[in-house]
Amino acid sequence: MELGSRRIYTTMPSKLRSSLLPRILLLSLLLLLFYSLLLLRRPIASSNLVSPPPCDLFSGRWVFDPETPKPLYDDTCPFHRNAWNCLRNKRENMDVINSWRWVPNGCGLSRIDPTRFLTMMRNKNVGFVGDSLNENLLVSFLCILRVADPSAVKWKKKKAWRGAYFPKFNVTVAYHRAVLLSKYQWQPKSSAEANQDGVKGTYRVDVDVPANEWINVTSFYDVLIFNSGHWWGYDKFPKETPLVFYRKGKPINPPLDILQGFEVVLQHMVSYIQREVPEKTLKFWRLQSPRHFYGGDWNQNGSCLLEKPLEENQLDLWFDPRNNGVNKEARRINQIIKNELQTKKIKLLDLTHLSEFRADAHPAIWLGKQDAVAIWGQDCMHWCLPGVPDTWVDILSELILTNF
């Protein structure tokens, strides 16, 4: 019995092990699965995530690529503005101008897919408010989007200066011309008064009152892109016809110079946008588009007949305000804007740096009208279309879709 009992005793553990092992393995797998599910459901603090930094679409370089796909539109787009339609105006080197591709540092930039963009923006509206450089961007945008909806029609309702409605997607994209953003009006002097001091009259600027062209239309738009800056110079408002700034209906004393006036207008307009534009509206502020006048300003025979983009080491020479060149306004204005928007819920659309390189891409002498250069000088401020603003559209559309 003892021997038998020993045999029984010694064989029992082996049987138990063989029957329990699969159960233990199954239970372990179930526990592992349950724990994994808990981890997946558990919110993880962003500080614990290891991820690459967000792509900076505004920093990078231009790469010459003859295989770059042709622009999405040509000179037949019905939304063109004649002076910027460089294909129709037979501007030289248009193939070369559009063979340069912007490559952001550390990431790629895809060309806008007009159908995808309008599909994702269905039943939404995009508005631009500001000066003609925002209009330059708008025209590029309209011509590109028309590829997805050739039935698009011109749209100038709600005080819009220019725009289009895309019926296939129920999307409106429009521009409201407000070069100073604030309300301003001409106040002429009598001939006798003008003869005394040489001042023909003044432009009254109400720094705390938005221009009529956009004051009551912002709720119509789901995306708004603002800009101002190109009119804030003494070439636009010389001493014979200066700006005079008012607040609460009374002249500001002591009087402000033109850049001080811009700063005060900016403060009031940003405050108005923060207060009156619906919070759900996606808001951008487009920084300055640089000019490329060489040898003088626009009214001093300045020229931009360059055949390729500038090099990186040339940019400060052209644009740093410390060098006091004719193109210094962009960076100077930008600094004022950046200071004001530091803590505001308005996103910066910083297209300045990438555009500084492209001294080769302006209409220059190809303006589409006889004697235009003799009257107005070369256009080294606006951009040929198709051209650099198409890259602006690629970036803007990416940011819009990302934020939505």
Which helix (H) or strand (E) covers residue 18, if one does?
helix 2-41
Helical residues (DSSP H) of 67-173, grouped into ranges: 94-97, 114-120, 132-145
Backbone φ and ψ of 60, nearest 5°: 170, -150
Distance of CA 54 to the CA centre of its chain: 17
Give all strands (DSSP E) within 211-303, no chain letters: 223-226, 243-247, 250-251, 282-286
Backbone φ and ψ of 164, nearest 5°: -150, 150
List strands edge to edge, sheet with 250-251.
182-188, 201-210, 243-247, 250-251
Give the three-state DSSP class for 360.
coil
- Give which of 392, 367, 387 is closest to 378, Cα–Cα: 367
First to last CA, the chain: 83
pLDDT at 17: 47
Angle at 212 between CA 170 and CA 280, to 5 degrees: 45
Backbone φ and ψ of 293, nearest 5°: -80, 130
Q: What is d(CA 25, CA 27) in angstroms, rounded to the nearest whole number?
A: 5
Which helix (H) or strand (E) covers residue 208, if one does?
strand 201-210
- Give which of 294, 290, 299 is closest to 383, Cα–Cα: 290
Q: What is d(CA 385, CA 94) in angstroms, rounded to the nearest whole number?
A: 9
pLDDT at 123: 98
Which helix (H) or strand (E) covers residue 11, if one does?
helix 2-41
Q: What's 378's DSSP letter?
A: -
pLDDT at 106: 86
Model pTM score:
0.85
pLDDT in tens, the chain (404 residues): 433 443 434 444 444 445 555 565 666 666 665 554 444 333 333 332 233 446 899 999 999 999 999 999 999 999 999 999 999 999 999 999 999 999 999 888 999 999 999 999 999 999 999 999 999 999 999 999 999 999 999 999 999 999 999 999 999 999 999 999 999 999 998 876 766 788 999 999 999 999 999 999 999 999 999 999 999 998 899 999 999 999 999 999 999 999 999 999 999 999 999 999 999 999 999 999 999 999 988 878 899 999 999 999 999 999 999 999 999 999 999 999 999 999 899 999 999 999 999 999 999 999 999 889 988 899 999 999 999 999 999 999 999 999 98
Backbone φ and ψ of 225, nearest 5°: -120, 115
Give all strands (DSSP E) within 34-170, no chain letters: 60-64, 100-104, 125-130, 153-154, 162-166
- Give which of 133, 56, 146 is closest to 398, Cα–Cα: 56
**Residue 155 buriedness (CB in 10 A; 0-12 / 13-18 / 19+):** middle
